[in-house]
Amino acid sequence: MKTDRIFGVVVILVALTFIVSAYNLPAGNVFDKLGPKAFPIIVGVGMILSAAMLVFKPDTEPDWPAIPTLLALALATVVLVGYAYALKPLGFLVPTAIAAAVLSYQISPKPMPAVLTGLGLSVGLFVIFKFALGLSLFALPRGLMG
């Protein structure tokens, strides 16, 4: 109930900014009757209508996970974002080992297998990507490679 309502309202607000932003685009001309603004407005109105249905007729509340699990999911997201930014400056091996180990531990909380998964995936995938598939990856920080 609550989730659908909140989500519906958020979508309506986003759709309104979408429509307002579309209104500032120029109108069409003879060669392009509708111009760049008409279709976005149609889409925005469609979003508002279907989101309004959600607000007025919400489904039963989805069973969101408990707080600890939500925190774990947030941590996973942070790890992934960190991984995205670490991949280039730190090379492939170290960030991949850490990120894979953390995710593995989060799925199945056993420390040793998680560490082994991290190391194995990091080295194994590197070998596959670099040597079998020929992608250009750097194993270690480029500074260290000279």
Partner 1 sequence: MELFSNLALGFGVALSPLTLFLAVVGCFLGTIIGALPGLGPSNGVAILIPITFSLGLDATAALVLLTSVYYGAMYGGRISSILLNIPGDEPAMMTTLDGYPMAKNGRAGDALVISGVASFVGALLATLALALVAPYLARIAYKFGPAEYFALYALAFATLGGMASNNQAKAALASFIGLGIALIGLDNNSGFTRFTGGNLHLSDGVDFLVAIVGLFAVSEVFVFIETHGKSSAVGVKLGKVTVPWKDLWETRWTMLRSSAVGFIAGVLPGAGASLGSFMTYMMEKGIAGENGGFGSGAIKGVAAPEAGNNAAAGGALVPMLTLGVPGSGTTAVLLAVLMTLNITPGPTLFSDRPDVVWGLIASLLIANFVLLAMNVPMVKVFVKILMVPPAVLLPAVTMISFVGIYSLSGSYFDLVLMIAFGVMGYAFRKMDIPTVPVILGILLGYQMENNLRHAMTLSGGEWTYLFSSPIAAVLWIAAFLGFFAPVFLRRYLKKPQLIED
Residues 103-132 that bind partner 1 (CB under 8 A): 103-110, 113-114, 117-118, 120-122, 125, 129
Residue among 29 and 143 whose Cβ is closer to partner 1: 29
Residue among 22 and 141 whose Cβ is closer to partner 1: 22
Distance CA(119)–CA(69), nearest Å, equals 25
Q: How many residues bind partner 1 (CB under 8 A)?
A: 75
Cβ atoms < 10 Å from Cβ of 9: 14
Q: Decide if 121 contacts 102 (C-beta within 8 A).
A: no
Site for partner 1 in 33-62 (CB under 8 A): 33-36, 38-40, 43-44, 46-47, 49-51, 53-54, 57, 59, 62
Distance CA(99)–CA(123), nearest Å, equals 13
Residue among 30 and 145 whose Cβ is closer to partner 1: 30
Residue among 73 and 144 whose Cβ is closer to partner 1: 73
Closest by CA position to 112, among listed 123, 103, 101:
101
Helices (H), 29-146: 38-56, 67-86, 93-107, 111-127, 142-145
* Token pair belonging to 125: 């995938």
**Binding flags for partner 1, 17-36, as an x/- string (CB under 8 A):** -x--xx--xx-x-xxxxxxx
Distance CA(94)–CA(47), nearest Å, equals 43
Site for partner 1 in 56-95 (CB under 8 A): 57, 59, 62-65, 69, 72-73, 76-77, 80-81, 83-85, 87-88, 92
Residue among 13 and 73 whose Cβ is closer to partner 1: 73
